[in-house]
A = this chain, B = another copy of it.
């Protein structure tokens, strides 16, 4: 089965009301803004969407809101990871039922999993749903590092068709191409690696940046598509300070602060996560003014 995703895969945050409930209205608006700006896919319940901090009910609620609001205009890639296989199957089936285009799974780890455990985990979920699965490798958050070799084995499972690589090491992508062939559907999940990954053959860029700068993200992708290295490099270095900032300070904290600077009211982060400290917000403001995302003073 061929992969259905390409280009800018946008990860919305999960906004909350002042009482700490999921803010359905604002979530819908964020998603709608992204689609209208031209992103190529929407991925709710990622790290940016604070998936692990939500209850099972909240996860189902977010998936439903986003899929309904996207309404088929672009594909949806829904995060369904859980620590146990049983809960992962549960969420994957639910996402499929809601009409998700595909699901994304990171093997969340407390005890480091063996290769056999990882493969059985994916295989068990894959057998229970018919839509495509994207493997997600992000040792910095998930605590487990999937080697290119393990990923290549996962990609042999029937409906496991894509991989999001977030180690930030372009050599991992080279290895995937060498192991799986140049048609392997790999996606870059490390924002500052966007340029290098596209040139290495990445089919898409999984990123929270379109919450704030979707046009710039799309501009970079388009430049690569038409083979204009100079324009791609210029676009990349222009947005790089913003990309570095959101990675350095945690995507939910940084994206929430940026939306607040744009006038949105995204509510409190879920504890123990806290809002970005004031001096960091000021630093972020300067970056956003430089990008003409918010007006300078």
Contact = CB atoms under 8 A, between A and B. Distances in A.
Interface of A: 47, 50, 52-53, 83-86, 107, 110-114, 116-118, 120-121, 124, 140-141, 143, 168-171, 174, 177-178, 182, 192-193, 195-196, 199-201, 224, 227-230, 232-233, 237, 240-241, 250-253, 270-274, 277
Contact of A272 (B120, B141, B168, B201): B120
A102 B84 CA distance: 28
29 contacts: A47-B111, A50-B111, A52-B110, A53-B83, A53-B84, A84-B271, A86-B270, A107-B272, A111-B141, A111-B273, A112-B140, A117-B274, A118-B272, A120-B272, A121-B272, A124-B271, A170-B193, A170-B196, A171-B192, A171-B193, A178-B237, A195-B199, A196-B199, A199-B199, A199-B229, A200-B233, A201-B233, A227-B228, A227-B230
Nearest to A182: B237
Nearest to A113: B272
Given A174-B192, A192-B171, A237-B177, A112 B229 contact: no
A182 B252 CA distance: 31
A244 to B, nearest CB: 8
A152 B107 CA distance: 33
A175 to B, nearest CB: 9
Contacts of A178: 237, 240-241
B270 A84 contact: yes
Contact of A271 (B121, B141, B192, B196): B121
Nearest to A250: B111
A50 B111 CA distance: 9
